[in-house]
Amino acid sequence: MSWTYTTLKSAIGDYVDSAETTFTDNYPVFIKEAEERILKNVQIPVFRKNVTGSGSSGNTYLATPSDYLTPLSLAVIDGDSNYNYLLLKQVTFIRDYTPAAATTGEPKYYAEFDDNTFILAPTPNSNFTFELHYVYRPESITASSDGTSWLGTNAPDAMLYGSLVEAATFLKLDPPEIQMFEARFANALNSLKAMFETLGNRDEYRYDNVRGIQG
Using one digit for the tens of pLDDT, what is the confidence trace for 54-71?
999 999 999 999 999 989
pTM of the model: 0.76
Question: For 140-177, what is each residue's pLDDT tens digit?
Answer: 999 998 999 999 999 999 999 999 999 999 999 999 99
**Mean pLDDT along residues 95-102:** 84
Q: What is the C-alpha to C-alpha distance for residues 104 and 188, in angstroms, rounded to an integer? A: 46
Q: What is the C-alpha to C-alpha distance for residues 58 and 123, in angstroms, rounded to an integer? A: 6
What are the sequence ranges of the domains in the chain? 5-44+139-211, 45-136
Collect contacts of 197-204 with beta carbons under 8 A, ≥24 apart. 199/45, 200/43
Half-sphere exposure of 136 (CA within 13 A, CB side): 15
Q: What is the C-alpha to C-alpha distance for residues 178 and 175, in angstroms, rounded to an integer? A: 5
Residue 126 has pLDDT above 70, yes or no: yes
Instruction: Please report the pLDDT score of residue 211 as a whole number.
Output: 47
Rg (CA), the chain: 21
Q: Are 111 and 87 in contact (CB under 8 A)?
A: no
Secondary structure class of 133 (helix, strand, coil): strand
Instruction: Please report the pLDDT score of residue 200 as a whole number.
Output: 53
What is the percentage of the chain residues whose pLDDT exceeds 90? 79
